[in-house]
Amino acid sequence: MGKRLLLEALRDNLQARFDGSTDAPTRRRYEVLAEELRLMILDGALKVGEPLPAERDLVELTGLGRGSVREAIRILEIEGLLSPKKPGRNGMSVVQNASDQTVKRQLELFIGGDTVSNEQLLEARLIIEPALARIAADKRTDEDIETLRAINATITETGMSDRKALVQLNLDWHVALFRASHNDLMAAIATGLSQTQHAAGVMGVYGEQMHVNAMISMHDKILAAVIERDADAAYRRTLRHLKGYADTLAKRNPAEFDLRPLNPR
């Protein structure tokens, strides 16, 4: 859709909702604008990689103040549908794919005003991650295999020499396994859960070389099952790997993870 037609469609939709609609008493206008822009992105009228119409065009089109337009844009940035606007007069917000970070942020919003326990996170991971390993054994590609091999090789080279890098590499390996399932929804949920626990960084603080060796060994065993397309073995080995973590380093995690500071204001 050309820019002019897109703006006209947006104008017409907004006018229909603002003029005598039931949205008016209950919804802030910037929320309605954010919703209309969101629908245009999800429907493909605004395509990935395309810039959002300029703020001044949206202000003129909607009759909203610049602050309201910016608030609508900020909502979509938080949701991961727009890239953060670059500084400067010519900075643009660009449409992007909803990512793992989007689902992670939604998990944070769901947990929101409370805390989530380490036990709850482990329970969720024990259900989801072995299931994803099972699917990965069926759907993985050669590229997935090479990615997993390369990350584990880097883990081997790194060892305990760079604890911070080790924590990130371990997370990267698990995320690569999730993505090898090619189930984007489950992979994104698993990534959000795993990122939350990895943020505690207990491997980086309390890990020893024996933990690294056990990690590498289990990664290799899981990967072997995925390569052989042995779904049952991939499931069992991933479950054993996570239980091993639950019985050792996970005990060093905080009892609860307070996600409120991670939430958007």
Domain CATH number, residue 59:
1.10.10.10
Based on the domain organization, do 109 and 50 belong to the same domain? no
Based on the domain organization, do 108 and 33 belong to the same domain? no
From the list 45, 38, 189, 34, the residue with the least C-alpha distance to 106 is 189
Mean pLDDT of 246-253: 89
Domain limit, last residue, from 53, 80, 98: 98
Distance CA 177, CA 102 (A): 19
From the list 135, 145, 132, 130, the residue with the least C-alpha distance to 220 is 145
Based on the domain organization, do 64 and 109 belong to the same domain? no
**pLDDT grade, residue 180 (50/70/90)?**
very high
Overall number of domains in the chain: 2
Based on the domain organization, do 73 and 8 belong to the same domain? yes
Residue 223 has pLDDT above 90, yes or no: yes
Based on the domain organization, do 127 and 54 belong to the same domain? no
Based on the domain organization, do 76 and 142 belong to the same domain? no
Determine which helix (DSSP H) or strand (DSSP E) holds 256, and give its type and residue range.
strand 256-258
pLDDT, one tens digit per residue, over 107-161 is: 666 655 567 888 988 999 999 999 999 999 999 999 999 999 999 999 999 989 9
Based on the domain organization, do 55 and 148 belong to the same domain? no
Based on the domain organization, do 157 and 217 belong to the same domain? yes
From the list 165, 143, 124, 102, the residue with the least C-alpha distance to 226 is 143
| Rounded alpha-carbon distances, angstroms, from residue 42 to 47, 48, 178 | 9, 10, 24
Residues spanned by the domain of 141:
101-262
Q: Which is more confidently placed, 264 or 217? A: 217
**pLDDT grade, residue 263 (50/70/90)?**
very low
Residue 22 has pLDDT above 60, yes or no: no
- Global pTM reads 0.65
